[in-house]
Amino acid sequence: MKDLRGKVAVITGSSRGIGKAIAIELAKNGAYIVLNGRDASRLEAATEEVSKIHNKVVSYCCDVSQPEQSEELIKAAIDNYGKLDILINNVGVSMRGDVADLKPQVFKKVFESNVFGSVNPTIPALKEIRKTKGSIVFISSLAGIRGLPYLSAYSSSKMALRAIAESIRIEEKSNDVHVGLILVGITQIEHNKETIASDGSKKILKKRDASKVDSTNTVAKKVVNNIKKRKFITTLTTIGKVNKFLQARFPMLVERIILGNLSKFQEKSE
Ligand SMILES: NC(=O)c1ccc[n+]([C@@H]2O[C@H](COP(=O)([O-])OP(=O)(O)OC[C@H]3O[C@@H](n4cnc5c(N)ncnc54)[C@H](OP(=O)(O)O)[C@@H]3O)[C@@H](O)[C@H]2O)c1
């Protein structure tokens, strides 16, 4: 899918952050856009922003952790544009805390958002994407390469996305459906981005030093490149590539490296 002009793309969780940057990059490449998020005013502001690129931009406000709402999101693409070429499963939330301290509801919330929030739109999208021989992309994380300390629910939810992506790749091979999995490194975040604390409450993340992390723009360009080249896995950042290489060959070495740097993981989880 080298030419994205006129391709119809649904991007879940695109009212801000990485999802919005992906929508902007797809729109710049001429794709028709369906934006999504739960907060109506935030979604409206994003729609206005993306509409400055071209006018083939609509939005559908819903919660993708709910199957019926996800079905309506996919229907919105068909109702507005008559087809669906690309689904980007971008919605995801992180968490913090030792497993021993976690309220079980933390796992539930993370899996509802990251796993069910990806599967729910994927199921109704598949029969449409078969018709266009399009793409389904899952936004994962370097935390999906191996289980990381203080991120157990997040890491395991992102690993689940890999299994789902692998299953669909085989099932849909004969239908020529492209499945992409993006392992994103630490990236710029928007003001007031939330994570889930060990007791299940919302926790606002600290600002990140822009010079030390990827920009949302960089991530968006890699996602679009993944779609154009119909690649399976795209791993972002040097540390991500090294981690993936070492984990596949020397997992115990990776464990030792992490143990030697535990204080950094602890710092990052504050
Ligand atoms: N930022 C990073 O450093 C980083 C690193 C690796 C991977 N990632 C992955 O990249 C993806 C995006 O991260 P981000 O940092 O851009 O997140 P973010 O800033 O928190 O944005 C999340 C977006 O999803 C929407 N959303 C959340 N839950 C939703 C739901 N159930 N239904 C519909 N929309 C929902 C939010 O809007 P509403 O709240 O209004 O619904 C917002 O538009 C996630 O999958 C994340 O795991 C991020």
Q: What φ, ψ does residue 82 adopt, rounded to 5°?
A: 80, 0
pLDDT of residue 146: 96
The one-letter amino acid at 207: K
pLDDT of residue 202: 95
d(CA 251, CA 207): 31
Residues 8-238, CATH architecture: 3-Layer(aba) Sandwich (3.40)
d(CA 220, CA 242): 21
Indicate which residues carry an active-site annotation: 140, 154, 158
> Whose Cα sits closest to atom 25 in ligand 1?
13
Q: pTM for this one? A: 0.97
Query: Tens digit of pLDDT for each residue in 159-197?
Result: 999 999 999 999 999 999 999 999 999 999 998 899 999
pLDDT of residue 265: 84
Nearest to 165 by CA among 244, 86, 232, 84: 232
Cα of first residue to Cα of last residue in the chain, in angstroms, is: 41
Q: Is the CB of 223 under 6 A from ligand 1?
A: no
Domain boundaries along the sequence of the chain? 8-238
Residue 130: alpha-carbon gap to chain centroid: 21
Choosing from 14, 36, 38 the residue with most ligand 1 atoms within 8 A of its CB, the one to mutate for a pocket test is: 38
pLDDT of residue 206: 87
Q: What φ, ψ does residue 220 adopt, rounded to 5°?
A: -60, -40
Output the 3-class SS for 113-144.
HHHHHHHHHHHHHHHHHHHHCCEEEEEEEHHH
Q: What is the radius of gyration, based on Cα positions, of the chain?
A: 18
Q: Is the CB of 16 under 6 A from ligand 1?
A: yes
Query: Tens digit of pLDDT for each residue in 15-46?
Result: 999 999 999 999 999 999 999 999 999 999 99
Q: Ligand 1 atom closest to Cα of 194?
A: 20
Q: Is the CB of 90 under 6 A from ligand 1?
A: yes
Q: What's the maximum distance between 2 C-alpha atoms anywhere in the chain?
A: 54
Nearest 5°: CA angle at 213, between 16 and 257? 125
Residue 91: alpha-carbon gap to chain centroid: 5
Q: Is the CB of 83 under 6 A from ligand 1?
A: no
Q: Is the CB of 70 under 6 A from ligand 1?
A: no
d(CA 104, CA 25): 37
pLDDT of residue 269: 60
Tokens of 58: 């609509």
pLDDT per residue, tens digit, the chain (270 aa), is 789 999 999 999 999 999 999 999 999 999 999 999 999 999 999 999 999 999 999 999 999 999 999 999 999 999 999 999 999 999 999 999 999 999 999 999 999 999 999 999 999 999 999 999 999 999 999 999 999 999 999 999 999 999 999 999 999 999 999 999 999 999 999 988 999 999 999 999 988 888 889 999 999 999 999 999 999 999 999 999 999 999 999 999 999 999 999 988 887 665
d(CA 16, CA 188): 11
